[in-house]
Structure 1
């Protein structure tokens, strides 16, 4: 991991609503994330985890504070520039997968590359390579309805990687998965981290958080802890009950 952060938040604040109904979802959060780190954001429901993730990934704008990605301040970008940045620089993995039902696995993975302007042949080749990387090459022509939850999440991860993002954001990526599928996805995240991919994931599952390099906990929108973890194959396997 490098010393300079690939992702930085400075005094990040987001308020939902107005007047007496205003709720401060994220309150003055400072955060530096180095390249290649896997960061888990934890905390109780409603503490601001998903809001923080959306702010860091450029899906929402802060009311106060700054977001820097790859050395560039992104919270001041116009909508079109921000959309271009999201397509090319970040990848998102959601709890409910958010695959397009009418597209095959391969077509779902290709789509962000096509939207970013890649030639169809280039997008097709990249999608095939990524589906192979996540163990889904033999399911490339299947529709999402023909895949298990774990398989759909693997396709979603491949899609998040197709434009070679600086950071992959994952919002409760194992929340809809059974134990076996959860283990598979965490192995995949560990492999991505080992390859140098920066990952930021929101989770309420302590077992999932324990596989990260670092855990930031939120309480009522405020950072309540920032803990580096001892990670490695033996710790990861021991925590989850499987061997890498």
Structure 2
């Protein structure tokens, strides 16, 4: 089954001579259970593509399908329901609610999706244990390190068992030790059959994926199966496409 699909996807910004195609006629299919990394230089359209896949932005042209359903024609209310139930987001800036504890941040999407408080607490506790933060569950985000906050954000993204997890530069604000923690979690997701799309500049993150797509000027310029190639191939890619850290 295809978990994520686009057809003739276009997203433009600006008007007249300043008009820019951030995403330019992109066709994409991501099978269920695949881990896909998207790399390319800054400004090439990676994050815009991810936002389109998750319904955070609407395309100028083309179609977006998630879990067998076309989403670019949905109302805002229907998109919100889809994001609560079928899509989990992990962002570089974490986007945790500062007034809520780690556990409450993870519980919140479950409550919004209709789970009982007891179910939400149980699910959040299990996920925080999974990401190694059971003992920090009652701490506020301000009391957590960057790596810990990102692990809370990953747990929050998984709380409603989404079919697709979208991660936008998830290690961009993290040091090497925290990045390794996130890599282990992504490896776990990959092993459990979760569909994962990761936008990243980090070759270590991309090396955990099954497949690598490279972008330039809003278009795909490479699409490679990663199994058996690992970081050696990626190391050569960095210089080829001008990746920026």
Per-residue deviation, residues 26-58 of structure 1 (Å, max 9, x unmatched): 000111001111100100000000000000111
| Greater shift in the superposed pair: 216-225 or 200-209 | 200-209
Residue 94 of structure 1, CA deviation: 0.5
1:47 corresponds to which residue? 44
2:182 match: secondary structure: helix
Distance in 2, Cα, partners of 1:58 & 1:38:
19
Deviation at 1:207, TM superposition (A): 2.3
What is the Cα deviation at residue 170 of structure 1? Answer: 0.4
Match of 1:162?
159
Write the distance in 1 (CA, Å) between the matches of 2:228 and 2:2: 20
In the superposition, the TM-score normalised over structure 2's length comes to: 0.92
2:74 partner SS: coil
Give the one of 186, 196, 211 matched to 2:183.
186
Give yes or no for contact 1:213–1:231 (8 Å, CA) kept in 2.
no
Q: Say what the alpha-carbon RMSD is for the aligned residues.
A: 1.5
The answer to whether 1:212 aligns with 2:196 is no
Runs of 4+ in 1 over 4 A off after TM superposition: none
Matched residue SS, 2:190: helix
Alignment partner, residue 18 of structure 2: 21
Aligned to 1:88: 85
Tell me which residue corresponds to 2:243. none
Matching residue within 55, 60, 63 for 1:63: 60
- Structure 1 unaligned spans of 5+: none
1:77 equivalent in structure 2: 74
Q: State how many pairs are aligned.
A: 233
CA offsets 1:193-219 (integer angstroms, 9 cap, x no match): 101111101001222212211111110
The answer for the alignment partner of 1:10 in structure 2 is 7
